[in-house]
Amino acid sequence: MMSVAGTREPRAQAGGQSIEFRVNGRAVSVSSSPLQRLSRVLREELGLTGTKVGCDAGDCGACTVLLDGDPVCACLVATGQVEGCEVTTVEGLADTNVGARLQQAFLTHGAAQCGACTPGMLIAATALLDRNSTPHENEVMDAIGGVLCRCTGYRKIIAAILDAAIKNAGVEDTASAAPTAISPAAGAAVGKRLVRLDGKQKVDGSEIFGADETPASALAVRAIRSPYHRARFHFGDLAAFVRDHPGIDAVFTAKDVPGKNCYGVISKFADQPVFAEGEARHRGEAIAAVVGETAAVEALETADFPVSWEELPPLGDIDAALATGARLIHENRSGNILVRGRVVRGDVDKALDAADAVVEAEYETGFIEHAYIEPEAGFAQRVGDQIEIQACTQSPYMDRSDIAAILGIAPERVRIIPTAVGGGFGSKLDLSVQPFLAVAAWHLGKPVRMVYSRTESIVSTTKRHPARMRLRGGCSKEGKLLALDFAADFNTGAYSSWGPTVSARVPVHASGPYYVPHYRALTRAVHTNLVPAGAFRGFGVPQAAIAQEQLYDELADRVGIDRLEFRILNALDEHTPTVTGQVLGEGVGIRACLEALGPKWKTARREAAEFNSNAAGALRRGVGVAGMWYGCGNTSLPNPSTVRIGLKRSGRIALHQGAVDIGQGSNTIVTQICADALGAPIERFDLLSGDTSITPDCGKTSASRQTLVTGKAAQMAGEKLRRAMLKLAGACDCATVLFNDGGVTVRDGDKSHVLALRDLPLDNYGYVITSEATFDPPTSPLDENGQGVPYAVFGFGAHMAEIEVDTELGTVRVLKVTAAHDVGRAINPTLIEGQIEGGVAQGLGMALMEEFFPGKGENLHDYLIPSAGDIPPVESILIEDPSPIGPFGAKGIGEQAVIPTAPAILNALHDAVGIRLRRIPATPDRVRAAILALQKGEAHG
């Protein structure tokens, strides 16, 4: 990440009294109000932005600091309370043995992914180890229980803390705690557990997220949003409002958008206004933005803003939107249907008629909030006739196109500089702060800054699509799947976002990774007056898997075949066609994943049965399994990545790779791939990421595409540079390239040729040699029945969940998840395990606790995500069935990891107590009600 004239200057707060305390061993005096939050003072007065703010309400723990040695949420501490105290922030940890040990352990264990929670985690762990040098795992979980992490699934954090504790207890000396420089030999980086290359800044607090850097003179931007799901509105005297409010510089509305007041991630369906015009279509939709001095903007009472609202009846769910004669949310979308998806193969009705066993089911899931720890933030400034926006994003080039259209300027006049991203999971593919920043900075000619509050983030940004799925499946008495009839409606909210992608992707995947000869999958994305639903790790496939994997369990039971065996019997192989008629060829590892679970499945089933037969109380155990497949990249659409590398005169290599690392590790993975393709040591590389002015387009970070697509482009660029160097040396293809300090030597048999880099001319990019390569996965369009090649590469996996149900309370405790994934080639096993464990945690939340209701619980206190105590041990089994297309055989893992967890848990729930909930999540009240209904012989769910 690069800054644009950005500063981390402390920002003086006028008008307060002097408060003296010590921070990281240094005496400080601040002049803020004694009531000001300590987190704010640390970040904005003292420039210690390592302390993160995820909620400002004591819910996330990201702001945890030590106050006289005790961990506290700095957002809940008034600065006046710390007078005379000692405060320790993440920036001070390296000066302590315990803190330094923890930082090192977090790096080596891969315990920091996006890094937004990492400072709070490190501080909480330091407090623990300071008072208990040899904690038990449960004590570690307790100690970090108040700090939320949305990426890691906590297991690597726990392992890192336990490891640091062992070392801290004196097993090793307390010498330098600098990160271990893991330096595999040239050409041997792929497959190594390399410490992530951007890890150090995540553990020492120097990483720059969206809210961490801004020009000192920046004005604040605040959106005025609809409090109603649907409302007409009229502005009062905006000019008078500005005039009467000192410190407010301007108000912007739809009429101030210089270009198109419309954007969207898929241009064909773009429909979302920067500012609503006349009518707000969902709660949280912006109608105006107020810009001014930070204090004045923050002090503003929204009730003072001159707007009158007329609340209108909303279309609040799928049924209302589809009802005959329902009002249209968008005039051009008949029946409130944004788009339909369809994949049809064979004769489903005939096959179901002939099947020995047929099962029907209906499942429903709700909105799910991404709940990344970093709310959206950034700043913008106008530089001549260009606009520059530095913000958190998963898709810099898509942002550039949309901002150019909004401002009515050429894309080349828009520079997007992605910051570190404190978790995205799909939602930061869509614009958030960027349009408001762009419009304000463009008009005012001054830098402007916008930081979403947690509530603002939750009410206005996209969610996982609620789904209502109906399906009917049939199999032979031998257990061979014959047919699946699947229909689903997805509540896509007020605007299109990724609704078309969900509608297209789900029909391709709803069979699961099995051979289903007769298949019909029909989907619809339906508009309602609710928050837009968009991309969330899996684009609808996790919802479909909940339905289809439970149906397959019911079919297996119906014909009396072991549930794992049923899946193995039906698993796709390299010869069987998928539901789109694609024959995958090499690299189909689903059978290997399922078989890897086999011995554990038998043991777990036996142990659960023993437990239940001996159980005298309310506890019952169950074991469930679910399979998964997921196509990497866009569905039947081009999605190229271009990577550029340059050989410098110093002999170092500049790697321009624009795959935004949102915590998953693409900065490291792509470099490992490129290094081995080139044959250079990893430490030779200088990484240049994301900035649209210096890095070619690597597409969006989504659809599990960066390892495959950008990784392949990096491999090709590396090989091309190697060939260019060999040519320069006049050497053959088999020659060896050696990278030495200050130069490159080519060895060709007995001959040795030193490339005199300092004497060679530089090209237009400023390099001795530049190599650029583009890769676009080979796919084909789908025909009217959805037949074709939607993806070049699929990832496969299977999870087994072992759970314990308290039948009196309705609570479900997951005891263990075993996760087998075919990743083709494990470029960096530590990072892959991190993706799997994080996916399991999100899948667990989806199965058991997470559901967002627009208008209710718009905070992290009421919206619950798994904390450390909720996550069981996760055993990852990595299967490497290489893809003939992926770089070094690699496939994606990001979304694959989340898909099978929820159905495996729900299948285990049925195994334990015999219930199937038709509405997910399986919250204690629903589980208890279903158990009671089952006991009474009633229908449930």
Q: Can residue 211 be called a binding residue for ligand FES (CB under 6 A)?
A: no
Our CB check for ligand FES shows the closer of 152 and 787 to be 152
Residue type, 127: A
- Minimum Å distance from CB 117 to ligand FES? 3
Q: Does 102 bind ligand FES (CB under 6 A)?
A: no
Task: Retrieve residue 809's tokens.
Answer: 């309370």
User: Rule CB under 6 A: is residue 87 a binding residue for ligand FES?
Assistant: no
CB of 229 to ligand FES, least distance (A): 27
Per CB under 6 A, the segment of 48-56, 99-107, 566-574, 797-805 that binds ligand FES is: 48-56
Rounded Cα distance, 22 and 628, in Å: 53
Query: Which residues from 407-446 bind ligand FES, rule CB under 6 A?
Result: 423
Quick check: helix, strand or coil at residue 373?
A: coil
Q: How far is the CB of 539 from ligand FES (least distance, A)?
A: 21
Q: Which is nearer to ligand FES, 55 or 847 (CB)?
A: 55
DSSP string, 870-893: GPPPEEEEEE----SSSGGG----
Closer to ligand FES at the Cβ: 59 or 271?
59
> Residue 116 Cβ, how far from ligand FES at the closest point, in Å?
5
| In the complex, minimum distance from the CB of residue 834 to ligand FES, in angstroms, rounded to a whole number | 9
What whole-number distance in Å separates Cα of residue 846 and Cα of residue 678?
A: 42
> Which of 62, 128 has the CB closer to ligand FES?
62
- Nearest approach, Cβ of 94 to ligand FES (angstroms)? 19
Among 55, 371, 572, 698, binds ligand FES (CB under 6 A): 55
The nearest distance, CB 434 to ligand FES, in angstroms, is 21
Closest-CA residue to 714 (of 745, 747, 687, 741):
687
Where are the strands (E) in 863-912, listed by range? 874-879
Binding mask 628-667 for ligand FES (x = CB under 6 A): -----------------------------------x----
Looking at residues 868 to 887 of the shown chain, list those that interact with ligand FES (rule: CB under 6 A): none
3-class SS of residue 507: helix
Among 54, 473, 646, 892, binds ligand FES (CB under 6 A): 54
| Residue whose CB is less far from ligand FES, 65 or 129 | 65
The two three-digit tokens of residue 373, written as one number: 């720890």
116 in contact with ligand FES (CB under 6 A): yes
Q: Is 124 in the site for ligand FES (CB under 6 A)?
A: no
Judged by CB under 6 A, the residue of 34, 58, 857, 882 near ligand FES is 58
- Please report how close the Cβ of residue 477 comes to ligand FES at its closest, in angstroms: 48
**Cβ 103 to ligand FES shortest distance, Å:** 14
CB of 430 to ligand FES, least distance (A): 19
Specify the residue, 822 or 837, whose C-beta has the smaller distance to ligand FES: 837
3-class secondary-structure state, position 893: coil
Closest by CA to 521, choosing from 488, 554, 490, 549, is 488
C-alpha angle with apex 630: 673 to 784, nearest 5 degrees? 120
Tell me: does residue 115 bind ligand FES (CB under 6 A).
yes
- Exactly one of 46, 63, 626, 628 binds ligand FES (CB under 6 A); that residue is 63
According to the binding rule CB under 6 A, does residue 112 interact with ligand FES? yes
Separation of alpha carbons 250 and 398, rounded Å:
28
Binding segment for ligand FES (CB under 6 A), chosen from 51-59, 236-244, 721-729, 820-828, is: 51-59
The region of 58-66, 300-308, 363-371, 438-446 touching ligand FES under the rule CB under 6 A is 58-66
Q: Which of 1, 23, 46, 62 binds ligand FES (CB under 6 A)?
A: 62
Backbone torsion region of residue 910, taken as left when φ is above 0, otherwise alpha when ψ lies between -120 and 50, otherwise beta = alpha
The two tokens of residue 11 are 């920002």
Smallest separation (angstroms) from ligand FES to the CB of 203: 11
Q: Assess 210 for contact with ligand FES (CB under 6 A).
A: no
Residue 456 vs 549, nearer CB to ligand FES:
456
Which one among 43, 101, 109, 150 touches ligand FES, defined by CB under 6 A? 150
Count of CB atoms situated within 10 Å of the CB of 236: 11
How near is the Cβ of 75 to ligand FES at its closest, in Å? Answer: 3
790 touching ligand FES, by CB under 6 A: no
The first and second tokens of residue 869, run together, are 């105590």
How far is Cα 306 from Cα 235, in angstroms, rounded to an integer?
A: 6
| Residue 68: partners with Cβ closer than 8 Å, 6 or more residues away | 85, 86
Residue of the chain from 72, 123, 251, 373 that contacts ligand FES (CB under 6 A)? 373
Encoded tokens for 891: 């496939």
Q: Is the peptide bond before 921 cis (omega within 30 degrees of 0)?
A: yes
Tell which one of 38, 60, 140, 530 touches ligand FES (CB under 6 A): 60
Which secondary-structure segment (H or E) carries 138?
helix 137-143
Instruction: Report helix angle 563-570 to 541-559, nearest 10.
Output: 110
Q: Which stretch binds ligand FES (CB under 6 A): 145-153, 274-282, 472-480, 786-794?
A: 145-153
Both tokens of 140, joined, read: 């570690």
915 binds ligand FES (CB under 6 A): no
Pair 421, 663: CB distance under 8 Å:
yes
Which residue in 23, 77, 105, 117 binds ligand FES (CB under 6 A)? Answer: 117
Going by C-alpha positions, the residue among 781, 901, 774 that lies closest to residue 835 is: 901
Please identify, among the stretches 92-100, 110-118, 496-504, 904-912, the one whose residues bind ligand FES according to the rule CB under 6 A. 110-118
Angle between helical axes of 563-570 and 590-614 (0-180°, round to 10): 170
Number of H helices, E strands in the chain: 22, 31
**Secondary structure, 3-state, 575-595:** CCECCCCCECCCCCCHHHHHH
Q: Across the strands, what pairs with 623?
A: 802
Q: Residue 779 is encoded by which pair of tokens?
A: 């796919």
Nearer to ligand FES, 396 or 663 (CB): 663
Question: Which residue, 61 or 366, has its beta carbon nearer to ligand FES?
Answer: 61
Question: Binding to ligand FES by residue 59, rule CB under 6 A?
Answer: yes
CA distance 854 to 862: 12
Residue burial 811-847, b: 16+ Cβ < 10 Å; e: rest: bbebbebbbbbbbbbbbbbbbbbbbbbbbbbbbbbbb
Does 61 engage in binding with ligand FES (CB under 6 A)? Answer: yes
Establish if 114 lies at the interface with ligand FES (CB under 6 A).
yes
d(CA 239, CA 222): 17
- What is the C-alpha separation between 498 and 536, in angstroms, rounded? 9
Count of CB atoms situated within 10 Å of the CB of 97: 16
Residues found in the chain: 941
The residue (of 473 and 663) whose beta carbon lies closer to ligand FES is 663
Is 72 or 725 the residue whose CB approaches ligand FES more closely? 72
The single residue among 90, 98, 107, 151 that binds ligand FES, judged by CB under 6 A, is 151
Closest of 797, 798, 825 to residue 882, by C-alpha: 825
Give which of 850, 913, 839 is closest to 874, Cα–Cα: 839
Binding residues for ligand FES, rule CB under 6 A, total 26
- Shortest Å, Cβ 208 to ligand FES: 15
Residues near ligand FES (CB under 6 A): 53-56, 58-63, 73, 75, 112-118, 149-152, 373, 423, 663
